[in-house]
Amino acid sequence: MEKKDKKKGWFSRLKEGLHKTNDWFSTLFNKDGINDAFYEELEEAMILADMGMDTAERLLDGLRDKVKEQKLTERADAKNALALLIADAVRTDKPFMVDEGPAVLLIVGVNGVGKTTTIGKIANEYALSGRKPLIAAADTFRAAAAEQLGEWANRAGVPMVRHQEGADPAAVVFDAIASYRAKACDLLLVDTAGRLHNKKNLMNELNKIRRVIARELPDVPCEVLLVLDATTGQNAVAQAEAFLEVCELTGVILTKLDGTAKGGVTVQISDTLKVPIRFIGVGEGIDDLRRFDADDFAAALLETDE
């Protein structure tokens, strides 16, 4: 019961965040008749919702087929059909290695997207579920980064390894791995400095971190998750494309879906880049992170019933 309430709370929070998008779709789906005008307006609403032209068109083609196949005449039925198509577009069947056993989770992204906050939330969630996380403060670049992360580590009751500001991030990770072994931890969470994909030295630094992990923990799978701020819309898509070119991403975390985000960018990232979305951030608090669930997300976006 409590779990259900919690899920509801989160679901309505996501819906609140997406209310602008919901409103467009609601207005559209409450009118009568499935005709050309409907498809045109729907395409416009999808693009306004940040789904991007290609994804919007792909989904519309799919919807046209479903409407024909199932002989749908009501917009309410078309809405449910679209929700299924959206859910399929954002679903993944790749297992999330962090849930499968000991793992490393490397968090990357540009400045200010929510990397450090998300590490704190993830550390808390896994500690509560009985895992033994350890945090590596590999953002040695920004002043006070380690202090900020240290506060999250305290809140989550999780140990953290840090060095002085300006130290080599790969050396922090090296020491964190020693500590991870000594303390018999089973989840290493690595926070990194905000970086632009076109800053070569920062990208090299990331690769150096990857090499240290691969060398020191060869049998432990490493997930590399890119954090994207959903309120930045198409810019988030561009960031994801750029990071995919220079490092091996295994997934994405979308933050700030409680804010002014229109949410459709989630569909576009998953559909066009084929990287699984693993978590979404719906607030600044330690509990405001949730597993990404394809069906819940599609329902929240279109405001269909769960």
Ligand X SMILES: Nc1nc2c(ncn2[C@@H]2O[C@H](COP(=O)(O)OP(=O)(O)OP(=O)(O)O)[C@@H](O)[C@H]2O)c(=O)[nH]1
Amino acid at 158: V
Under rule CB under 6 A, residue 169 binds ligand X: no
Under rule CB under 6 A, residue 199 binds ligand X: no
Task: Please report, as residue ranges, which positions from 132 to 151 form the binding site for ligand X (by CB under 6 A).
Answer: 139, 142, 145
CB of 144 to Mg ion, least distance (A): 10
Query: Which of 27, 111, 207, 235 touches ligand X (CB under 6 A)?
Result: 111
With contact defined as beta carbons under 8 Å apart, do 269 and 236 qualify? yes
Residue 191 DSSP symbol: E
Query: Which of 87, 161, 283, 304 touches ligand X (CB under 6 A)?
Result: 283
Q: Which is nearer to ligand X, 56 or 236 (CB)?
A: 236
By CB under 5 A, which span of 86-94, 108-116, 207-215, 270-278 interacts with Mg ion? 108-116
CB of 115 to Mg ion, least distance (A): 5
Under rule CB under 5 A, residue 75 binds Mg ion: no
DSSP-H helix ranges across the chain: 2-17, 19-29, 36-48, 53-69, 75-90, 115-128, 145-156, 169-182, 200-216, 234-246, 264-273, 294-302
Query: Residue 241: which of ligand X, Mg ion, none does it interact with, CB under 5 to 8 A by kind?
Result: none
Contact partners, residue 185, CB within 8 Å, separation at least 6: 132, 133, 134, 159, 179
Cα separation, 111 vs 116, in Å, equals 10
CB of 49 to Mg ion, least distance (A): 29
Q: Which is nearer to ligand X, 79 or 115 (CB)?
A: 115
Of 5, 24, 55, 26, residue with least CA distance to 303: 26
| CA separation, residue 236 to residues 69, 153, 227, 279 (Å) | 35, 27, 9, 15
Reading the block at residue 112, the tokens are 């200010």
Query: Which of 25, 51, 63, 115 touches Mg ion (CB under 5 A)?
Result: 115
By CB under 5 A, which span of 13-21, 95-103, 116-124, 202-210 interacts with Mg ion? 116-124
Cα separation, 126 vs 106, in Å, equals 15
Cα separation, 273 vs 89, in Å, equals 11
Cα separation, 157 vs 172, in Å, equals 20
By CB under 6 A, which span of 204-212, 218-226, 244-252, 282-290 interacts with ligand X? 282-290
Cα separation, 195 vs 202, in Å, equals 6
Under rule CB under 6 A, residue 61 binds ligand X: no
With contact defined as beta carbons under 8 Å apart, do 206 and 212 qualify? no
Under rule CB under 5 A, residue 116 binds Mg ion: yes
Query: Residue 256: which of Mg ion, ligand X, none does it interact with, CB under 5 to 8 A by kind?
Result: ligand X
Under rule CB under 5 A, residue 239 binds Mg ion: no
Query: Residue 258: which of ligand X, Mg ion, none does it interact with, CB under 5 to 8 A by kind?
Result: ligand X
By CB under 5 A, which span of 43-51, 82-90, 109-117, 275-283 interacts with Mg ion? 109-117
CB of 87 to Mg ion, least distance (A): 32
Of 226, 230, 305, residue with least CA distance to 273: 226
With contact defined as beta carbons under 8 Å apart, do 117 and 284 qualify? yes
Query: Going residue by residue from 242 to 281, which x/- string records binding to ligand X, judged by CB under 6 A?
Result: -------------xx-xx---------------------x
Q: Which residues bind ligand X (CB under 6 A)?
A: 109, 111-117, 139, 142, 145, 194, 255-256, 258-259, 281-284, 288
Binding site for Mg ion (CB under 5 A): 115-116
